[in-house]
Amino acid sequence: MGQVEKAKQLFVNLTKKAAKNFCLYLNKHRERIVNYHYYQSNKICSIGSDSVESAIKQIGRRIKISGAGWNEQNVPQVLAHRVAYFRAC
């Protein structure tokens, strides 16, 4: 739910290395931690990672094709399609 400080309080008094590492992680990535509850309760978009992971795999495959490259002139069109897709969900 994006409650970083509340989560940290659960671990702050623990002495195990894993607990300390988790607190360090929370501090370092505080701005990147997504409040999934907000998105889900406001029905903004699906919070499932399937479509995101699929898109990443497709891009990864495209990048690895021998001799393939991105045509700079096509980037705006591709981005426009991706934005339209994400707005639709």
pLDDT in tens, 47-60: 666 777 777 777 77
22 occurs within a structural domain: yes
- DSSP symbol at 16: S
Q: Report the candidate in 57, 43, 55 with the shortest Cα–Cα distance to residue 88.
A: 43
Residues 29 and 52 reside in one and the same domain = no
Range of the domain at 69: 48-88
CA-CA-CA-CA dihedral for 13, 17, 23, 25, to nearest 10: 180
Q: What is the pTM of this model?
A: 0.46
41 occurs within a structural domain: no
Torsion 16-21-22-27 (CA) sign: positive
Residues 84 and 59 reside in one and the same domain = yes
69 occurs within a structural domain: yes
How many domains, in total, are found in the chain?
Answer: 2
**8 Å CB contact between 33 and 23:** no
pLDDT in tens, 14-59: 999 999 999 999 999 888 887 878 877 887 766 666 777 777 777 7
